[in-house]
Amino acid sequence: MDLDMKDVVALCKRRGFIFPASDIYGGINGFWDYGPLGVELKNNLRDLWWKAMVVTPPIGPDGTPVQIVGLDSSIIQNPKAWVASGHVGGFSDPMVDCRETKKRYRADHLIQRIADKVKVLADIGSEEIKIKGKVAKAFAFPIDATNEEMDRRLKKLGVKKGWISHDGTMPELAFADFSKQDLETLVGPDASEPGTLTEPKEFNLMFESHAGPVQSDDNKVYLRPETAQGIFLNFKNVLDSSRVRMPFGIAQIGKAFRNEVNPRNFIFRSREFEQMEMEWFCHPDEVEKWRDFWFEERTKFWRAVGLASDNLQMRKHGDDELSHYAKEGLGTSDIEYKFPFTAPDFGELEGIAHRCDFDLTAHQEHSGQKLEYMDPVTQEKYMPHVIEPAAGLTRGALALICEAYTVDESRPSGVYLNFHPALAPKKAAILPLSAKEEHVGPATKLYLALREEFAVDLDIKQNIGKRYARQDEIGTPYCFTIDNDTIEDGTVTVRDRNTMAQERISMDKVAEYLREKMKPAGANQEKEAA
RNA sequence: GCGGGCGUAGUUCAAUGGUAGAACGUCAGCCUUCCAAGCUGAAUAUGCCGGUUCGAUCCCGGUCGCCCGCUCCA
């Protein structure tokens, strides 16, 4: 059956995974809070990523582990950094609305074509093109409109042939160059009369604040829209302090902020979110090798944490959707997940981008600091290129929840969360079969021993069925039940979340049992074992 | 940002121009030797602001939030 997002959202709230931010004040659009279980899940994913990147980075093509160091840079940086990165300019996409058709266009995606003839005629007042009684002097078309499409549209609007043409005598103007008054005589791409387009509206997708208690333009600062820039800003510091040599990576996990026009789809597109980014610096000649390497590693990671189904797919960006930093080079490939709200389409989970030397070059120019790399062996001096695997931590957590959400009418809870044990917020629940001391005593002892190593729950209240059901709903993979046999022979029942099957194991072996079950999730485990 | 829909307990739903009810969940207790059993009890809701009205959860306006579509997503 199709997974309904409403059920997922309800479970997340009911069991304490994700709450609307500022819930008691009616919430705030685009912001979410992670509850007691949500923060565990998110931290587990975060820690596994950190381990896979920084603690036990993968074995490289040459058979030795690659070099990656960690970083935690400030959310607020010198605003010049965002000018250099292109965010101050590039983040502001002027938008134009059509009052008639309610459509919205990016101003830089519209062009206007004005026929000289029309202009002249209008100027001398002898003849005019009138549409619905209004003077039309110019027509806006999508930037990719073909001549045929433009002809067809003009004909439909009743413009006589010969009055206006696209034979090269008709100038093209960028929308932004048009004056406010000219808008009155401009016909929108889908409108039936002139004058329906609004002035371009500035959209700045970066959050602004002020460093210091007095607000002025002089101390305006931005909340980072991506963690990546903090890495580029520290490239030289890391290089000078960390004994790293090309190629190497700098990894960072942290919050990022984007003033999304329209936050949607639960935590998928929120205004405050968390990223896991690694900038891999390498020689320009090696980018292809490393792009392929990281693409494969990152795919393995997502499969290892539990996104092993057909819901995961890989997609290369088309040329039309490339970022400003990826216009040259190898482009961007996405790892995508089929979320319930995107199905049958997929939503981006991680992008592996070739950022070229865009960022370091830009920061070198703007800061005046030399950021080139001098190879100590070859004495070659060059600007490193960057392969960037950039993943959404919060999106990842959402994908994990969606993937884990399993409807099972046959069990009391009706649903269980099939998390990989390493990701599950609680690894196990310790359940005394009855609330009597002979059960509670050993259960408490087991709980105290296990909690040193695992996130476990001790649950004494209510009957055993209710307790199993509750653990199912929060995705606890194992329940250890203490009963009369435990007192006799020191064994406990292990109840498996997915199969509901039970087996008895010695109480001494419980920790080892859990340790074993946690194992396979590390993305680099297989290679290490080999 | 535009259009449409919606807003009642933690969740899912019901009802009404005359002071809101259920199920599940939660909590407390009893009972329970393995899957939400049974029994008893308890707490908890009309998003917010304003208007109409004798009286508004219901009608109207605004606002906030959620969902769908469009747009956008460097």
Distance in angstroms (rounded) separating the CA atoms of residues A222 and A87? 10
Which nucleotides in chain B have some atom under 7 angstroms from a protein Cβ? 1-3, 7, 10-12, 25-29, 31-38, 47-48, 64-74
pLDDT confidence tier of residue A59, bands split at 50, 70 and 90: very high
Same structural domain for residues A424 and A313? no
pLDDT at A529 over 50: no
Pairwise CA distance, residues A354 & A225, whole Å = 19
Nearby residues of A356 by Cβ (< 8 Å), 6 or more positions away: A325, A326, A328, A329, A385, A386
> Which residues from 148-207 of A have any strand B atom under 7 Å from their CB?
203, 205
When pLDDT is averaged across residues A412-431 and rounded to a whole number, the result is 91
Is A528 inside any structural domain?
A: no
Residue A240's pLDDT is what? 92
Domain final residue pick, A169, A204, A239: A204
Are residues A486 and A424 part of one domain? yes
Residues A397 and A371 in one domain: yes
Residue A63's CB: how many other CB atoms inside 10 A? 6
**A38 and A136 fall within a common domain:** no
**A525 located within any domain:** no
Enumerate residues 6+ apart whose C-beta is below 8 A from A479: A428, A429, A430, A431, A467, A468, A471, A493, A494, A495, A497
What's the domain range around A481? Answer: 417-517
Residue A24 (CA) to nucleotide B20 (C1'), in angstroms, measures: 21
Higher per-residue pLDDT: A196 or A384: A384
Average pLDDT for chain A: 83
Question: What pLDDT score does A102 carry?
Answer: 63
| Distance in angstroms: CA A109, C1' B1 | 17
User: Which nucleotide has the shortest C1'-to-CA distance from A206?
Assistant: B74
What is the per-residue DSSP string for A429-498?
Answer: EEEESSSSHHHHHHHHHHHHHHTTTS-EEE--SS-HHHHHHHHHHHT--EEEEE-HHHHHHSEEEEEETT
Residue A140 has pLDDT above 60, yes or no: yes
CATH number for A444: 3.40.50.800
Task: Residue A258: give its domain's CATH number.
Answer: 3.30.930.10
Higher pLDDT, A349 or A128: A349
Q: Are A200 and A213 in the same domain?
A: no
Residue A526 is predicted with a pLDDT of: 46
Examine the domain organization and report whether A316 and A248 are in the same domain. yes
A230: nearest Cα among A208, A246, A252, A249: A252
Same domain? A337 vs A483: no
**What per-residue confidence (pLDDT) applies to A518?**
87
Residues A353 and A484 in one domain: no
What confidence tier does A123 reach under pLDDT thresholds 50, 70, 90? very low
- Whether A149 shows a pLDDT value over 90: the answer reads no
The reported pTM is 0.84
Å separating the CA of residue A466 from the C1' of nucleotide B37: 10
Total domain count for chain A? 3
pLDDT of A165 reads: 53
ipTM: 0.88
Is the pLDDT at A116 greater than 70, yes or no? Answer: no
Are both A324 and A175 inside the same structural domain?
no
What is the tens place of the pLDDT at every residue in A73-97?
999 999 999 989 888 875 555 667 7
| Statement to judge: residues A230 and A374 lie in one domain | yes
Residues A353, A434: Cα–Cα separation, whole Å: 56
The answer to whether residues A515 and A449 touch, using CB atoms and an 8 Å cutoff, is no
Q: What is the pLDDT of residue A365?
A: 93
CA of residue A26 to C1' of nucleotide B60, angstroms: 22
Could you say which residues 371-400 of protein chain A have a Cβ atom less than 7 A away from any atom in strand B? none
Query: Whose structure tokens read 């305006």?
Result: A220
Q: What DSSP character marks residue A151?
A: H
Nearest-angstrom CA–CA distance, A330 and A58 = 22
- Mean of pLDDT values over A357-373: 93
